Structure 1
């Protein structure tokens, strides 16, 4: 496979990322109420969007996003995914410890809590839709900086 000629710089950041959940009320309870993310908008049973720092977390109902757009002025093509996805939130070691306690108290079992070979800690659990949710120290990818 040949690499296409680069005519512009690579993307500098991720503007938005998506997870899929059939029960948006449960998603709101987890991402909004429990995690405390700032909700930007909810569109009925189609989606709910949250601000996470400089990124937007899109939670889509997969049964709705496969449908063609209903508004001609917003020609977003149908899209979606099946099965659990993954999101990782940046957190310090102390924040991970606090999140662990808060999540367990709220009835969310922890799947894994460990330290990577480079010393970064990660905590894993599932959201109500079965998506893998991770809290990790940024040094996982970016070193001690």
Structure 2
């Protein structure tokens, strides 16, 4: 089996309005699905970020129930020539604290920051994990 990529990533959040304001309003990700008091979904490049209210996702229905909690991690890949622009947008334009920048060697950098639910978000340069 040859998997091409992880298509969806799921975060469990406590306030959908706050998550929407952060991911759509601040980071500019397009909202592609929303159910009041349950979830909001965002298009992030070729992938989808699913933000669920934890307790609401325990309820099954059309799809199996699922649940998660705690501070999770995900990384957004950007073109190398846009990395610095994203770093400036996050820290200077949006006033979001960058916790750390890391040099992975071979010319690849990434930086870390938090969303309103304290999930650890990372911006990585394109090509960092390629073979």
Q: TM-score, normalised by structure 1?
A: 0.81
Tell me by how many angstroms 1:139 deviates: 2.2
Are 2:105 and 1:117 equivalent residues in the alignment?
yes
For 1:90, the equivalent position in structure 2 comes to 77
Distance 1:35 1:66 in 2: 28
Q: Is the 8 A contact 1:96 1:123 kept in 2?
A: no
1:15 aligns to what?
Answer: 7
When Rg is computed on C-alpha atoms for both structures, the one with the higher figure is: 1
Task: State whether structure 2 residue 36 is matched by structure 1 residue 48.
Answer: no
Matched length: 130
Structure 1 runs (4+) deviating above 3 angstroms are none
Instruction: Report SS of the residue matched to 1:141.
Output: coil
Gaps of 5+ in 1: 1-8
Supply the RMSD in Å over aligned alpha carbons: 1.5
In structure 2, distance between residues paired with 1:18 and 1:45: 16
Is the 1:15–1:56 contact (alpha carbons within 8 Å) kept by the matching residues of 2? yes
State which of 4, 26, 32 in structure 1 corresponds to 2:18.
26
TM-superposition CA deviations, 1:62-95 (whole Å, max 9, x none) = 12111233xxxx1x12112110111111113442
**Greater share of strand residues, 1 or 2?**
2
Q: Could you tell me how far 1:46 is from its partner in structure 2? A: 0.8
What are the residue-to-residue correspondences of 1:58-77 with 2, within 5 Å?
Answer: 58-69=50-61, 74=62, 76-77=63-64
- SS of the equivalent of 1:33 reads helix
8 Å contact kept, 1:89–1:135: yes
